[in-house]
Amino acid sequence: MEVIITKQENEVTAQLRGRLDTPASQDIANDVETLVGAAGGTIILDCTELEYISSSGLRIFLTLRKAAAEKGGTVIVRNITPAIRSVFMMTGFLNLFEIQ
């Protein structure tokens, strides 16, 4: 799993590459910290290359979404693959996130 974070003023883009499974979710704890810190602005989660997500990954998504809600920011999920989309659907995440 690879996370590439790019910051532009009030907007942070995180490119998620690979499989966000349970161990990976733990591995990217630092990146998540970073993103939570930017929750006041816009967080763009670029899922173009995200192949897989498990509930731990979803938990990260939810954590960011809650932080953004708290801090008045926005979380935008971009370019999800059909596989990720179906997981979002199963978990009702499609309603929680703005998906582009």
What minimum distance in Å lies between the beta carbon of 44 and another protein? 18
The phi, psi pair for 63, rounded to 5°, reads -60, -45
Q: For another protein, which is the closer residue by CB, 7 or 59?
A: 59
What minimum distance in Å lies between the beta carbon of 20 and another protein? 11
Give yes or no for residue 18 binding another protein (CB under 8 A): no
**CA–CA–CA angle 72, 12, 26 (5° rounding):** 95
Distances (CA, A) of 5 to 36, 84, 91: 12, 20, 26
Give yes or no for residue 63 binding another protein (CB under 8 A): yes
> Which residues of this protein are in contact with another protein, per CB under 8 A?
19, 21-23, 26, 51-56, 58-59, 62-63, 65-66, 69, 82-83, 86-87, 90-92, 95-96
